[in-house]
Amino acid sequence: MTRRVIGSIFVLLSILVLPYWIYIPVLLFAIIFFPFFWEGIILAFLIDVIYGSGVEALPSFVSLFALSALILIIILLPIRERLRF
């Protein structure tokens, strides 16, 4: 649990101060590493809320990163049970 909280705080800080090519892989890693990492969706929302959504193809209220995080976590649900970390 402590690792999970520290991980979430680390992802949050990296979103605030680091370049996107660091915080997006960090978020991806956290989603894969922590089981059922629903905090990843909130953190992904933060990216789009803070830095703005730049994807014209999606409606403005849909967050690309949050949607991607949601899909990834759902895909990882059955896969994680077959893997051992």
Partner 1 sequence: MKVNYLPKNRLKFPYWKRILVLLVIFFAGTIVFSFLGSTIVSLVSPVWEAENVIVSGENVTPVIDRRTKSGLIVATVLTYPPQTPYDIIIIDIGSNDSVVIGGEVSMSEGPLLGLVSEVFSRRAKVKLFSASGEETSAILERNDMPITLEGRGGGNFRISLPRDMEIEKGDRILSADISARLMAIVEDVTVQPTDAFKEVLAKSPTNIFALRFVFVAP
Please give the residue ranges that form the binding site for partner 1 (CB under 8 A).
Answer: 16-21, 24, 36, 38, 41-42, 45-57, 61-63, 66-67, 70, 73-74, 77-78
- Kind plus residue range of the DSSP H or E element containing 79: helix 64-82
Q: Which is nearer to partner 1, 33 or 36 (CB)?
A: 36
The DSSP element (H or E) to which 66 belongs, if any, is: helix 64-82
Nearest in space to 24 (alpha carbons), one of 61, 68, 62, 58: 68
Residue whose entry in the numeric block shows the structure tokens 């409606």: 59
Give the nearest distance from C-beta 68 to partner 1 in angstroms: 11
Q: What's the min distance (Å) between Cβ of 41 and partner 1?
A: 5
* Structure tokens belonging to residue 56: 């014209």
Cβ nearer to partner 1, comparing 7 with 31: 31
Report in angstroms how near the CB of residue 84 gets to partner 1 at its nearest.
18
